[in-house]
Amino acid sequence: MAQMNLLQAINNALITAMTDDEKVMVFGEDVGHFGGVFRATSNLQEKFGKGRCFNTPLTEQGIIGFANGLASQGSVPVAEIQFSDYIFPAFDQIVNETAKWRYRSGGQFTCGTLTIRTPYGGGIAGGLYHSQSPEAFFAHIPGMKVVIPRNPRQAKGLLLASIRDDNPVLFMEPKKLYRASVGDVPDTDYELPLGKADMVKEGTDITLLAWGAQVEIIEKAAAMAQEIGVSCEVIDLQSILPWDVETICGSVCKTGRLLINHEAPLTGGFASEIAATVQERCFLYLESPIARVCGLDTPFPLAHEKEYMPDHLKTFEAIKRTMDY
């Protein structure tokens, strides 16, 4: 066990995966000798050689197209997109190619070994193009898995599972927490299961659900709610696609109330999918409308970042409204 921040845990997971399997290759913009603009790939080129950790030209569609070919050949590519805001040039390669590769070929060929790592989320004064949370775009793509960790231990275990999963995984890293989140990370090679939510704190009055950096926001709101006598069950979804319907619905059937929080804009955000599914499955158990505390339906602003964010205070107010319904 060692104390690591989120970046060190990711670096540790990459070293673990590359040591374990020589087919694992890491590439993207500036990931080579320099070690990545966030240092997530530090020392990989020195340890594993230029053949397995290398810079690519500055082309996101190229990086993912290249990764698709490499994965279908039998290698294990871990491609980095420098900011998730810049993943859109590769959208065609991901939606039409990566995700459909196995289905369209009748299982003859797959891109299952591919993992795409990308920093996401606000809170770092990143403005429009260094703050986005595009998970909902990818949740609409059959064939993809989408995974988001919340702390160093989760990051290592989920990243190792993503690299070894036989399906393409988009692994989104909350960059606000890269250095801010520090915790114990096992030195061992371990995996955390994909498709499973994580029960952070049990409660009885309302279920609070979030993922990535927003988990600590709902934890904070839960602590405030505790002071006024509301017991919150806090869940980290961890996997956006496929998501853990059993855990969420089990919790809502117990508490009768649900609040979902995400940074991405409200309309078409993944909270909509969860809310619709939960109301279908838990209709007779719901005591109040499902609350969504999300980013505004605007581009992500710079000067008004604090106002834009679905913070603990907005969450706390929504908890009270839901409880009083």
Partner 1 sequence: MQDRNHLSDVQPTNSVCLIENGLIEIPMLQLLDENGHETNKEQSPEIDEATAKRIAATMQYIRLLDERMVGAQRQGRISFYLACTGEEASTVASAAALSSDDMIMSQYREQGALAYRGYTTEQFMNQMFSNELDPNKGRQMPIHYGDKTLNFMTISSPLGTQIPQAAGYAYGQKMSGKPALTICYFGEGAASEGDFHAGVNMAAVLNCPVIFFCRNNGYAISTPVEEQFKGDGIASRGIGYGVKTIRVDGNDVLAVFAATKKAREVALAHNCPVLIEAMTYRLAAHSTSDDPSGYRSKSEEEKWHAKDPVERFNKWLDGKGWFDKKATDAYLEKSRAEILAAVKKAEKVPVAYIDDIVEDVYDTPPWHLKKQLVELKAHIAKYPEHYPKTSGRVK
State the catalytic residues. 60, 130
Binding footprint of partner 1, residue count (CB under 8 A): 48
Q: Provide the minimum distance between the beta carbon of 286 and partner 1 in the complex, in angstroms, as a whole number.
A: 20
* Among the listed residues 118, 312, 321, the one whose alpha carbon sits nearest the alpha carbon of residue 215: 312
Q: Which region, judged by CB under 8 A, interacts with partner 1, from 9-17, 85-93, 221-229, 301-309?
A: 85-93
Assess whether the previous peptide bond of 142 is cis (omega < 30° from 0): no
- Closest Cα to residue 79, out of 38, 123, 29, 147? 29
74 binds partner 1 (CB under 8 A): yes
Nearest to partner 1 of 77, 203 (CB atom): 77
Token pair for residue 118? Answer: 């990308």
The CA distances from residue 165 to 172, 293, 320, in Å, are 16, 32, 40
Which one of the spans 124-132, 137-145, 200-208, 254-262 is the region binding partner 1 (CB under 8 A)? 137-145
- Residue 250 touches partner 1, criterion: CB under 8 A: no
Strands 182-185 and 2-5: antiparallel
Provide the minimum distance between the beta carbon of 32 and partner 1 in the complex, in angstroms, as a whole number: 11
Reference 10, options 127, 121, 147; nearest CA is 147
Q: Which stretch binds partner 1 (CB under 8 A): 150-158, 184-192, 229-237, 240-248?
A: 240-248
Tokens representing 71 are 């994965």
Which CB atom, from 4 or from 44, has the smaller least distance to partner 1? Answer: 44
* CB of 82 or CB of 322, closer to partner 1: 82
- Nearer of residues 33 and 201 to partner 1, judged by Cβ: 33
Distance CA 172, CA 214 (A): 13
- Options 19, 73, 267, 298; binder of partner 1; rule CB under 8 A: 73
Verify binding: residue 271, partner 1, rule CB under 8 A: no
Sole binder of partner 1 in the list 127, 183, 242, 256 (CB under 8 A)? 242
Beta strand spans in the chain (E): 2-5, 24-28, 53-55, 76-80, 115-120, 145-147, 169-174, 182-185, 198-201, 206-210, 232-236, 239-241, 258-265, 291-295
**Cα–Cα distance measured from residue 213 to residue 44, given in angstroms and rounded to the nearest whole number:** 26
157 contributes a contact to partner 1 by CB under 8 A: no
Nearer to partner 1, 122 or 143 (CB): 143
- Can you tell me which of 28, 102, 153, 248 binds partner 1, judged by CB under 8 A? 102
State the nearest-atom distance from the C-beta of 157 to partner 1, in Å: 20
Of 56, 133, 247, 322, the residue at the interface with partner 1 (CB under 8 A) is 56
Determine the Cα–Cα distance for residues 234 and 207; give it in Å rounded to an integer. Answer: 6
Q: Which of 103, 129, 204, 276 binds partner 1 (CB under 8 A)?
A: 103
Residue 120 pairs in a beta bridge with: 174
Residues 208 and 179: beta-carbon distance below 8 Å: no
Beta partners for 292?
Answer: 260
Residues near partner 1, by CB under 8 A: 25, 51-52, 54, 56-57, 59, 61-62, 64-75, 77, 89, 92-93, 96-97, 100-110, 112, 142-143, 145, 166-167, 195, 242, 245-246
